């Protein structure tokens, strides 16, 4: 019988052996086998991508991490899922599993800053060339592809500037050219979009964010199809990527309420955006809220919902007043992460210098918000008092 994601989130990862609603936290390094034959058989099963109850060595994980891997793989409709100790670790694993010296990679221009750094700087030292494309111009992507292109790396929506792309068009192009595709799907999560079902080869989520939801975990997941499984498995094994069983347990706990939290994030964010769009100092709200726009149409085409992360573009000739605005917020903490229960804010002064020329205008500033689970009226009142600081 087929169940909805809401039901799956509540029932996956139950421990059938202990009859517990939650898996045990198993910390291990050495794993004992009854015979050499059993050990060798386990290695064969892992290499094939078969589901196993335990690995041949603790570096690959424990029963707790296996429970989370199987949970996410089912959730993502993936052949397999690999765990890393951070979200960015999964980005790195995806890229280094596929790209080799002499290859080229095409990356969306509005990508997460560390992803931009690894592709534009570190890969260069390994003779791998990176091209950045404009996420709002498909021809820009097409023009960057050649016979050496090994991967298209998509982040949807764009980090900080939130451009939504026509994903099926990208997949069609990649399949035609026999190029591997990877997507950072942390914003949407597999609850709102399943990239592997669309045709992507690799789907990345930072479990630190919405999967956990409680701002107390660092973890990443890389879900893959059968086509790239062996390359990722081998690279994962050789580099020793692993998430701790304690963090895996916390992410499993967080995932049980993912659907409820996401709906609350979405509901509150819409109320806040309806308030902000009336504010004259705000020139643009970077979120799929305007019907008829390309961003809205691409979001609607692929996503079943929206989350709590967005940016605003503010016009001000006084940069210090932007700092005063951010500093005077009482309920929006100043912090780098997002996806947790608490609301956050960041003045993205570096984005203006780095990202994509559309937003590099005199006296225009990007401020990013994550809307948490607080009362919407309280958050709006907090924004209202702080907006007075912008001059």
The domain boundary, picked from 255, 280, 308, lies at 255
Split into its structural domains, the chain has a count of: 2
Does residue 281 lie in a domain region?
yes
Q: pLDDT tens-digit profile of 270-294?
A: 999 999 999 988 999 999 998 999 9
Q: What are the strands of the beta sheet with 364-370, ordered from one edge?
A: 282-286, 309-315, 364-370, 344-347, 333-334
Which pLDDT belongs to residue 353?
Answer: 45
For residue 340, what are the domain limits?
Answer: 258-387
Q: SS3 letters for 8-26?
A: HHHHCCCECCCCECCCCCC
Say whether both 279 and 182 belong to one domain.
no
Q: pLDDT tens-digit profile of 146-188?
A: 999 999 999 999 988 999 999 999 999 999 999 999 999 999 9
Which pLDDT belongs to residue 276?
Answer: 97
CATH number at residue 73: 3.40.640.10
Which pLDDT belongs to residue 391?
Answer: 87
Say whether both 123 and 215 belong to one domain.
yes
Say whether both 327 and 280 belong to one domain.
yes
Flag residues of the chain having pLDDT under 70.
16-18, 350-360
| pTM of the predicted structure, to 2 decimals | 0.92
Say whether both 248 and 342 belong to one domain.
no
Which pLDDT belongs to residue 14?
Answer: 76
Say whether both 243 and 274 belong to one domain.
no
DSSP per-residue codes, 20-83: BSS------S----S-HHHHHHHHHHHHHT---SS-SSGGG--HHHHHHHHHHHHHHT-SEEEE
CATH number at residue 346: 3.90.1150.10
């Amino acid at each position: 019988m087929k169940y909805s994601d809401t039901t799956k989130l509540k029932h996956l990862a139950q421990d059938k052996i202990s009859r517990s609603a939650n898996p045990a936290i198993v910390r291990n390094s050495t794993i004992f086998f009854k015979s050499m034959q059993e050990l060798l058989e386990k290695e064969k099963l892992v290499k094939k991508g078969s589901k196993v109850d335990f690995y041949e060595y603790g570096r690959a994980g424990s029963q707790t991490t296996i429970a989370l891997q199987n949970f996410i793989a089912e959730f993502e409709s993936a052949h397999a899922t690999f765990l890393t100790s951070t979200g960015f670790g999964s980005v790195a694993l995806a890229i280094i599993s596929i790209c080799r010296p002499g290859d080229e990679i095409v990356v969306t221009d509005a990508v997460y800053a560390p992803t931009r750094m690894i592709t534009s700087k570190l890969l260069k030292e390994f003779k791998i060339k990176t091209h950045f494309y404009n996420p709002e111009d498909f021809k820009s992507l097409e023009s960057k592809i050649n016979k050496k292109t090994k991967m298209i790396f998509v982040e949807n929506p764009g980090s900080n500037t939130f451009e939504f792309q026509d994903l099926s068009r990208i997949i069609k192009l990649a399949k035609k050219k026999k190029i591997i595709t990877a997507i950072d799907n942390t914003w949407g999560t597999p609850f709102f979009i399943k990239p592997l079902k669309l045709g992507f080869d690799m789907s990345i989520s930072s479990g630190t964010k919405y999967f956990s939801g409680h701002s107390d975990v660092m973890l990443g997941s890389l879900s893959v199809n059968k086509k790239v499984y062996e390359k990722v498995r081998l690279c994962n094994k050789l580099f020793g990527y692993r998430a701790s069983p304690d963090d895996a347990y916390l992410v499993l706990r967080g995932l049980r309420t993912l659907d409820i939290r996401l709906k609350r994030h979405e509901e509150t964010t819409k109320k806040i955006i309806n308030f902000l769009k009336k504010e004259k100092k705000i020139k643009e709200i970077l979120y799929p809220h305007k019907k008829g726009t390309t961003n809205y149409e691409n979001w609607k085409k692929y996503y079943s919902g929206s989350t709590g992360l967005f940016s605003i573009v503010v016009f001000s000739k006084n940069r210090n007043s932007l700092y005063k605005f951010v500093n005077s917020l009482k309920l929006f903490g100043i912090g780098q992460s997002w996806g947790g229960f608490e609301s956050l804010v960041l003045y993205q002064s570096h984005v203006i210098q780095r990202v994509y020329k559309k937003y590099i205008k005199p006296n225009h500033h990007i401020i990013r918000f994550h809307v948490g689970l607080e009362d919407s009226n309280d958050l709006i009142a907090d924004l209202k008092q702080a907006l007075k600081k912008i001059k």
